[in-house]
């Protein structure tokens, strides 16, 4: 029996049932919508490993299926389109053949990318904390521009002058420091960094 686009939710539910028969391991489950829209159709299913597939209607008689990437990934999701007039079994087999293999690879790569970025950010946070402790303040408290790479913090002073510093991380082992200092204090800092040698 052919499927009808008059009831796309039933079509997708039948496809989900066939998909679970063909490939039961991921345990695909429908994700109910919190607030179903009366203007557009959306059907979402999720697997135990976090992968997700969303179906939408676009052109008449067609269903658009696309894989959802992990939160935090910059990768674009993969998609295919199928005719809603095909049987649920045929559509499910099409998903297994044309979408799921490439999507599984892309999803795994996206997770690896997110994990690498998180390691990088933890390393940068550690650098910020080291610099802040060196000048006697708590961890950098005021994000400046992109907080992943730059932090600002007040530097302790013996007078009432405003002294601020910014720390930029170039990689996981080097930092660049900028300071806004009164001229007299800047001269003192430079004298420490570049001590004069007696002839």
- In tens, the pLDDT along 13-53 reads 999 999 999 989 999 999 988 776 666 789 999 999 999 99
Between CA 102 and CA 100 the distance in angstroms is 6
Q: Is the pLDDT of residue 72 over 70?
A: yes
Tell me which of 39 and 71 has the higher pLDDT: 71
Between CA 19 and CA 80 the distance in angstroms is 16
Q: Is the pLDDT of residue 189 over 90?
A: no
Phi then psi for residue 190, to 5 deg, are -65, -35
DSSP string of the chain? ----TTSHHHHHHHHHHHHHHH--TT--EEE--SS--SSS-EEEEE-TTS-EEEEEE-STTEEEEEEEPPTT--SPPPEEEEETTS-HHHHHHHIIIIIHHHHHHHHHHHHHHHHHHHHHHHHHHHHHHHHHHHTT--S--EE-SSTTTEEEEEPP-SSS---EEEEEESSSS-EEEEEE--HHHHHHHHHHHSPPPP-
Between CA 151 and CA 198 the distance in angstroms is 38
| pLDDT at res. 98 | 95
| pLDDT at res. 152 | 75
Residue with tokens 């007040």: 154
| pLDDT at res. 123 | 87
Between CA 122 and CA 38 the distance in angstroms is 44
Estimate to the nearest angstrom the gap between the alpha carbon of 148 and the chain centroid: 13
Q: What's the whole-model pTM score?
A: 0.74
| pLDDT at res. 156 | 65
* Confidence class for position 3, pLDDT limits 50, 70, 90: very low
What share of the chain in percent tops pLDDT 90? 39
Mean pLDDT computed over 106-110: 93
Mean pLDDT computed over 141-154: 66
């Amino acid at each position: 029996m052919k499927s009808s686009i008059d009831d796309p939710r039933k079509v997708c539910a039948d496809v989900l049932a066939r998909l679970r028969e063909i490939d039961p391991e991921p345990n695909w489950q429908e994700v109910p919508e919190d607030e179903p829209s009366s203007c557009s159709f959306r059907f979402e299913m999720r697997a135990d490993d976090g992968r997700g597939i969303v179906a939408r209607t676009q052109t008449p008689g067609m269903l658009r299926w696309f894989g959802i990437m992990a939160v935090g990934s910059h990768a674009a999701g993969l998609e295919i389109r199928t005719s809603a007039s095909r049987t649920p079994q045929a559509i499910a087999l099409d998903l297994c053949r044309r979408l799921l293999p490439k999507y599984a690879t892309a999803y795994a790569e996206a997770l690896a990318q997110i994990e690498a970025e998180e390691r990088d950010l933890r390393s940068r946070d550690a650098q910020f904390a080291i610099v802040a402790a060196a000048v006697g303040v708590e961890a950098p408290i005021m994000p400046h521009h992109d907080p992943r790479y730059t932090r600002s913090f007040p530097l302790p002073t013996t007078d009432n002058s405003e002294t601020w510093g910014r720390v930029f991380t170039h990689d996981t082992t080097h930092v660049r420091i900028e300071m806004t200092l009164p001229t007299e204090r800047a001269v003192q800092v430079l004298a420490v960094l570049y001590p004069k040698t007696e002839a």
